[in-house]
């Protein structure tokens, strides 16, 4: 297998979002959980997305795991590696986007790295280096209240400069609009000044196509699914990859009981839970009980098991920003996040033991904890449920399973029903 594109994603939902985008753009793609074991049978593919759970861990660990993934991908022929980050640039001043970018850049000897989280299909655009989420700048969007990495600055040049060892430049939209050669000239100018990375503006998919053409000649880029789209289209349009039909079929029906788990506290997820209340039984976990050692997971399982034969159920820990802040003030941010993620993993593991074969998980960190606990080594990409969220078929696991890993902010109000409708 010689890869046309290697990808390292900093969380599992982000990885499935990217794998979905690459698949839809014609690249045969597989998502692996971590670096695949040597004995994992992978299909013949153009791109591998190695999923890490490295967005919110200590920067040094994120660097070492990303480096190991890069070595594996380059060893399989990937001349370009995309470090997939969140389209809302989820990170803190301690990292992990800057430190990982710096390390990968050192490893591959890249002069200047293109960076953009733009993903217009989901309303993420970048103008003059400022990230917009829909109609508002990042710092006015719901991301200002994220439980783990509240985003308070929309200027990505500033945000990345606080995290990185290199100076950060800007390639503005006017330059992108003039085309690939104008972007190349601007990059050469910035690199000549010793600048090692540049935020690049993008508002429309055509901007991403220009960016993809330029990025494809480099060794490394950093961004969300938008730059993945640009890279994939560049690989196809330059003949480096023969376009494959998008995976509209995720194989034979799996059937069996279905369940949904929500650990995301994003506004989109809160609305989706409210809609689900109309169509399926919903259990609201008590986060305080989880933090104080009560067996809240067992209480949820006792509630869910007798209901599974009648239809899907939803178990949610999600709370409003005020409730999240209050819980974090009582128990600490990391302790709260970790304990709730582990409770979700306990619930998922036991639901699967009880026969659940179709599982929808809302939240990136939450999905990471669940997929790790289920020891799933990788996924094939099936139909798209909503922008950035495909049906996933587990590969190499004990039994057949379908999953959907939903980024907190993605999907319409009926997401849970939409997903289950496509996971047969
Ligand atoms: N009620 C709650 N209070 C505080 N933190 C919570 C609560 N429910 C979930 N969390 C934590 O918030 C974080 C949500 O992150 P994540 O799962 O990545 O969602 P998103 O995709 O919206 O970012 C997780 O660490 C999760 O355990
Ligand atoms: O790029 C994106 O927005 C997503 O792919 C993603 O990474 C979202 O992260 P979570 O909201 O933490 O799932």
| Strand 378-386 with 389-395, pairing | antiparallel
Q: Are 381 and 249 in contact (CB under 8 A)?
A: no
CATH of residue 360: 3.40.980.20
Q: Ligand 2: distance of its center to the CA of 309 in Å?
A: 32
**CA gap 128, 179 in Å, rounded:** 17
Pocket test for ligand 1, best of 147, 261, 267 (most atoms within 8 A of CB): 147
Query: Is 192 inside a domain boundary?
Result: yes
Query: Which tens digits make up the pLDDT trace of 175-211?
Result: 999 999 999 999 999 999 999 999 999 999 999 999 9
> Is residue 313, in this structure, part of any structural domain at all?
yes
Q: Is the pLDDT of residue 259 over 80?
A: yes
CA angle (304, 309, 312) in 5-degree steps:
60
Alpha helices per DSSP H over 222-295: 225-237, 267-276, 287-291
Question: What's the domain count of the chain?
Answer: 2
Residue 232 sits in a domain whose CATH number is 3.40.50.10840
pLDDT given at position 164? 98
Identify the CA nearest to 398 among candidates 352, 361, 358.
352
By most ligand atoms within 8 Å of CB, the mutation choice from 340, 373, 386, 407 for ligand 1 is 340
Residues 275 and 383 placed together within one structural domain of the fold = yes
Q: Has residue 193 been placed in a domain?
A: yes
For residues 286 and 221, membership in a common domain is answered with no
Residues 281 and 215 in one domain: no
- Do residues 62 and 161 both lie within one domain? yes
DSSP 8-class letter at 202 = B
Q: Is residue 390 part of a domain?
A: yes
Q: What percent of the chain has pLDDT over 70?
A: 98
Averaged pLDDT of the chain: 95
Q: Are residues 202 and 148 in the same domain?
A: yes
Phi-psi region of 273 (alpha: psi -120 to 50; beta: other; left: phi over 0): alpha
| Protein residues with CB under 6 Å of any ligand 1 atom | 147-148, 263-266, 287, 317-319, 324, 327, 336-337, 340-341, 363-366, 407-408
Q: Are residues 226 and 312 in the same domain?
A: no
pLDDT higher than threshold 70 for residue 249: no
Q: What is the mean pLDDT of residues 350-368?
A: 96
Boundaries of domain holding 63: 5-237
Statement to judge: residues 217 and 362 lie in one domain: no
For residues 137-161, average pLDDT: 95
Assigned domain for 242 exists: no
**pLDDT range class, residue 244, cuts 50, 70, 90:** confident
Residue 78 falls within a domain, yes or no?
A: yes
What is the pLDDT at residue 246?
66
- 310 and 416 in a single domain? The answer is yes
Domain's final residue, options 237, 272, 297? 237
CA nearest to 191, candidates 225, 167, 156, 219: 167
**Beta bridge partner(s), residue 137:** 132
Q: Is position 70 within any domain?
A: yes
- The helix (H) or strand (E) run that includes residue 354 is none
For residue range 276-302, what is the model confidence (pLDDT) as tens digits? 999 999 999 999 999 998 899 999 999
Mark whether 363 and 223 lie in a shared domain: no
| Cα 348 to the center of its chain, rounded Å | 20
- Paired strand residues for 392: 381, 403
* Contact of 52 with 11, CB cutoff 8 Å: yes
Q: Is the pLDDT of residue 226 over 60?
A: yes
Tell me what pLDDT residue 247 has.
56
- Tens digits of residue pLDDT in 380-422: 999 999 999 999 999 876 678 999 999 999 999 999 999 999 9
Dihedral over Cα of 298, 303, 306, 309: its sign: negative
Model pTM?
A: 0.95
Is this complex scored with an ipTM above 0.90?
yes
Same domain, 282 and 159: no
CB 232 within 8 A of CB 21: yes
Tokens 């849970």: give the residue.
Answer: 416
Express each pLDDT in 55-82 by its tens digit.
999 999 999 999 999 999 999 999 999 9
- Which of 237, 270, 300 is at the close of a domain? 237
Instruction: Give the residue among 24, 6, 30 at the shortest CA–CA distance from 82.
Output: 6
**Mean pLDDT for the stretch of residues 304-317:** 97
Strands (E), 191-312: 197-200, 220-223, 258-262, 282-284
State the distance from the centre of ligand 1 to the C-alpha of 255, rounded, in angstroms.
Answer: 29
Whether 41 and 119 share a structural domain: yes
Q: Does 321 reside within a domain?
A: yes
What DSSP string describes 347-365?
A: HHHHHHHTT--EEEEESHH
- Are 15 and 145 part of one and the same domain? yes
Helices first, then strands: H and E counts in the chain: 15, 18
320 pLDDT above the threshold of 60: yes
**Smallest CA separation from ligand 2 atom 9, residue:** 407
Kindly give, in sequence order, each residue whose CB lies less than 8 Å from that of residue 295, ignoring residues fewer than 6 positions away: none
Q: How far apart are CA 183 and CA 115, in angstroms?
A: 13
């Amino acid at each position: 297998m010689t890869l046309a594109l290697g990808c390292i994603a900093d969380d599992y939902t982000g990885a499935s979002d990217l794998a979905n985008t690459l698949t839809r753009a014609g690249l045969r793609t597989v998502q692996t959980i971590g670096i695949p074991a040597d004995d994992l049978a992978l299909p013949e593919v153009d791109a591998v997305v190695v999923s890490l759970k490295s967005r919110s861990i200590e920067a040094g660990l994120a660097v070492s795991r990303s480096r190991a993934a890069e070595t594996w991908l380059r060893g399989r022929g990937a001349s370009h590696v995309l470090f997939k980050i969140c389209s809302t640039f989820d990170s803190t001043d301690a990292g992990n986007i800057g430190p990982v970018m710096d390390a990968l850049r050192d490893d591959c000897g890249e002069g200047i790295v293109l960076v953009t989280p733009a993903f217009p299909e989901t309303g993420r655009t970048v103008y003059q280096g400022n990230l917009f989420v829909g109609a508002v700048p990042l710092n006015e969007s719901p991301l200002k209240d994220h439980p783990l990495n509240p985003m308070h600055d929309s200027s990505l040049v500033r945000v990345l400069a606080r995290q990185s060892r290199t100076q950060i430049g800007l390639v503005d939209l006017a330059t992108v609009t003039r085309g690939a050669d104008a972007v190349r000239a601007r990059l050469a100018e910035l690199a000549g000044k010793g600048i090692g990375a540049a935020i690049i503006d993008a508002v429309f998919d055509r901007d991403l196509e220009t960016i993809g053409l330029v990025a494809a000649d480099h060794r490394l880029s950093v961004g969300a699914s938008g730059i993945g789209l640009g890279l994939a289209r560049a690989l196809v349009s330059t003949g480096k990859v023969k376009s494959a039909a998008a995976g509209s079929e995720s194989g034979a029906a799996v059937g069996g009981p279905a369940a949904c788990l929500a650990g995301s506290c994003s506004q989109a997820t809160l609305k989706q839970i409210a809609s689900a209340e109309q169509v399926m039984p919903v259990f609201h976990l008590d986060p305080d009980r989880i933090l104080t050692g009560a067996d809240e997971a067992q209480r949820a399982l006792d509630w869910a098991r007798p209901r599974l034969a009648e239809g899907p159920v939803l178990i949610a820990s999600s709370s409003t920003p005020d409730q999240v802040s209050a819980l974090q003030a009582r128990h600490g941010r990391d302790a709260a996040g970790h304990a709730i993620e582990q409770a979700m993993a306990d619930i998922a593991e036991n639901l699967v033991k009880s026969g659940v074969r179709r599982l929808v998980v809302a939240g990136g960190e939450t999905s990471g904890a669940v997929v790790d606990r289920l020891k799933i080594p990788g996924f094939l990409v099936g139909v798209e449920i909503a922008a950035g969220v495909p049906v996933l078929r587990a590969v190499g696991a004990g039994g057949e399973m379908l999953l959907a890993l939903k980024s907190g902010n993605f999907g319409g109000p009926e997401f849970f029903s939409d997903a289950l409708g496509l996971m047969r």
